[in-house]
Structure 1
């Protein structure tokens, strides 16, 4: 399961889980024995989808099945991220951390008050490695992402489609000195909320003629610099959040950093290495229902 190497199959599985919990009745089994590897992003998406499942189907009991047959590295990563707590499963085998593998931080979820969870996630990251450089920039990026969920993501959503929450987590690779930080929600997505926002006119002007309904162009334009500071909430400072706090965390880092945002039909990526920047925004084969934000920072620790 990986959004880079196997996007179609990964998102298809998550959509199948959601369909099953919304439309089907009776016993449902998701066979994870066949999963041979899982990335940090895919792990958080799976945890969030199953946590959503748990909240929607409180009368049913979710449990792990044939756990002893799972791929050990997959089982260990999901355990560290808190997956088996979602399933209320105990006595999960202890698996060793192999050389070069990522360590995961247990997920956090909520609806409001993002400051405390952002600080707690940062603390969890630092428990696995060095103190994070640009600590305040990471904090502000996380708070901005979670605040966007509270103020925008679920505002126009219709129907009973699950909990109105965000999920956050992170992974650290001490050998590669790399940190991955992630936020996901199951809202309507950035590309659908921007046309209703106070910044839409400035965003629209940055989109090529004929592409005003293309998600990839909408999201890329949302991260472009402009002089309009007003968001959907009407607060003058809120409109800057995507580019100044979420994208700004990568811009402020002195080493190699990457930002990825997958939302609706858009896959936006921005990277910075010293003074060299690269930015792309493409369409994905299967729409992502919500918004996924990921920062990957190399040499993230303070000297």
Structure 2
């Protein structure tokens, strides 16, 4: 992963403008593909350019691609960064995800004209986090939902075996066309992590959230603070349902599905549980100003506030509220999961901010130049020794 040179930036801008012209031509004809109208406002491309202006651009090339039973054809390959872990390589992962979205949509436009594929190559990945793994799985799942008659391709022969094992555990291979697995390959715990299959939905579904908790309990042997975990998951899902995809959301160049995704993993060496909820919506800082309690949140932030300050203010506001009607304490419910578990934390990434909350260390904030592609809420729970073999309500 590298920063763009002046020539690369010029080429990338030229390509974006060409894509804009293609969209406008199709828009003038009222073209549709896969049930999605291609009448997208011109400012969607401008918004994309602004969102990705200072992000590293992954390696992208076009080469022949062959698949069993298919004629050889050209495919666009996008190469993942070696650290596919948002918490460790935020800009590199975000740049990869944004370009993956753009190339997926470009492939959707071109495939109507001639057969062309877009393939993500994970050959160079050396470390992988739950956050980025869930985000990439969500992108594949979204493509399957929008184009149910066309499964995405992957070419994983050169992927490191632990990477293949992670995505098989997550359920990615149920969504794609891929070579058959090598039966001789056995990677039980890649990266010292046991992943569980992803879940997804459109509504606030307690049964689906409980399914994830059961899966985590099976791999970890227990789930601490189960009642709070359940409440935190439901609150994160409720945030998606109520706020992530407003009807007045700004235009985007990629198709939107009003869904959330969740997944989890267990790290035996640290007796640590991780689980996350992710959506591809507009972000918490963009929706809070429309709430009746936003003025109260502003009173808890400094005048020159950032997105991270707004998220922190919303957590603090929720912690101090006790009334039941539109109390605005959703983010505090999400954080309350880790309040009594030493060494545990919750991380919220949304807009241009990141807030990590833990009982022992309080709030840690980060601010970024580029906006995040949705909202990610990730819990990290440290299982206490006395919790071994049983669950704590």
Q: Could you say whether these structures have the same fold, taking a TM-score greater than 0.5 normalized by the shorter chain as the test?
A: yes
2:372 equivalent to 1:288:
yes
Match of 1:80 in 2: 169
Distance 1:107-1:100 versus aligned 2 partners, 3 A rule: closer
* Matched residue, 2:292: 198
| Distance in 1 separating the partners of 2:89 and 2:236 | 25
CA gap 1:44/1:199 in 2 versus in 1, 3 angstroms:
same
1:209-261 CA-to-partner distances (Å, cap 9, x unmatched) read 132xx21211111111465568xxxx715511211x201001132x2111101
Q: Is the 8 A contact 1:269 1:279 kept in 2?
A: yes
Unaligned runs of at least 5 residues, structure 1: none
Q: Decide which moves more: 152-161 or 194-203.
A: 152-161
Distance in 2 (CA, whole Å) between partners of 1:283 and 1:6 is 14
CA distance in 2, matches of 1:120, 1:11: 29
Where relative contact order (Cα < 8 A, 6+ residues apart) is larger, the structure is 1
Output the CA distance in 2 between the equivalents of 1:229 and 1:54.
42
Residue 209 of structure 1: which of 281, 303, 306 is its match? 303
Cα drift, residue 143 of structure 1: 0.4
Matched residue, 2:348: 261
Partner of 1:28: 118
Aligned length: 291
Instruction: Find the structure with the greater CA-based Rg.
Output: 2
Matched, 1:127 2:218: yes
Alignment TM-score, normalising by the size of structure 2: 0.69
2:5 corresponds to which residue?
A: none
CA distance in 2, matches of 1:20, 1:50: 12
Unaligned runs of 5+ in 2: 1-83, 111-115, 389-393
Q: Which residue of 2 aligns with 1:38?
A: 128
Distance in 2 (alpha carbons) for counterparts of 1:89 and 1:199: 49
Mean Cα displacement is larger for which, 190-199 or 279-288?
A: 279-288
